Amino acid sequence: MIRLSNVKAEIGEELLFIISELEFNNDKSYLLTGDNGTGKSSLLKAFIGEFPYITGDIKVDGEVIYQPQDPYLYQKKGKDNFALFNIELTSIENELAALEMFEMLDKPVDVLSGGQRQKIAFLRSISLAQDILLLDEPFSQMDDFSTYYCLNLSKKWLQEKKRRLLIIISHDPLEKATFDAVIKITDKRLIKIQ
């Protein structure tokens, strides 16, 4: 669960957004949307204490795994990104097969396409996440099949265990109906539109 109270984000004189009270509840999935530069990524960064231009009370209850908009892939090969976090490839072999990822695991990360990089980053994040999973535009460069497969995988992750929370930022329409709530940042405020 993440609770925001009297939160204000401003960079210098520029106000990004104000939130009086807002709760992201456990066992729910949230789609966070809004125009460019409205502060969606900044809000997620604030949840892990990496956005210094914010004041107010942010209470995060649970262990957070956060995937930034440009996730970093560690050297040298795709599979090293799982080994670094002690993620056994056998535990995700169905997902690797469905996303046709076996070949890219042995390739150096420098030669992977944007979509391939996102697949590795996403599987790495979801394999590690226990309580709260924050994803900033995780599917923006994936093909349609991979996007919806990963989207379903994240929903499955949410339902696998109690007291989990999923927040995804996206500009794509995705399947808005499949989210428990859609929150939009507009006119410097967060509005629940679904």
Q: Closest approach of Cβ 150 to other proteins, in Å?
A: 17
Span interacting with other proteins, options 24-32, 68-76, 150-158, 170-178, rule CB under 8 A: 68-76
Restricting to residues 77-96, which ones interact with other proteins according to CB under 8 A? 84-85
By CB under 8 A, is residue 48 in contact with other proteins? yes
Span interacting with other proteins, options 107-115, 141-149, 157-165, 177-185, rule CB under 8 A: 107-115
Which residue has 């995705």 as its token pair?
174
Contact 17, 39 (CB under 8 A): yes
Alpha carbon distances (Å) from 40 to 9, 143, 172: 11, 23, 14
By CB under 8 A, is residue 23 in contact with other proteins? no
Alpha carbon distances (Å) from 174 to 3, 91, 104, 112, 138: 25, 27, 26, 24, 12
By CB under 8 A, is residue 75 in contact with other proteins? yes
Taking each continuous run of H as one helix and of E as one strand, the counts in the chain are: 6, 9
The mark string for 110-149 relative to other proteins (x by CB under 8 A, - otherwise) is: xx---------x--xx--x-----x---------------
**Residues, the chain:** 194
By CB under 8 A, is residue 74 in contact with other proteins? yes
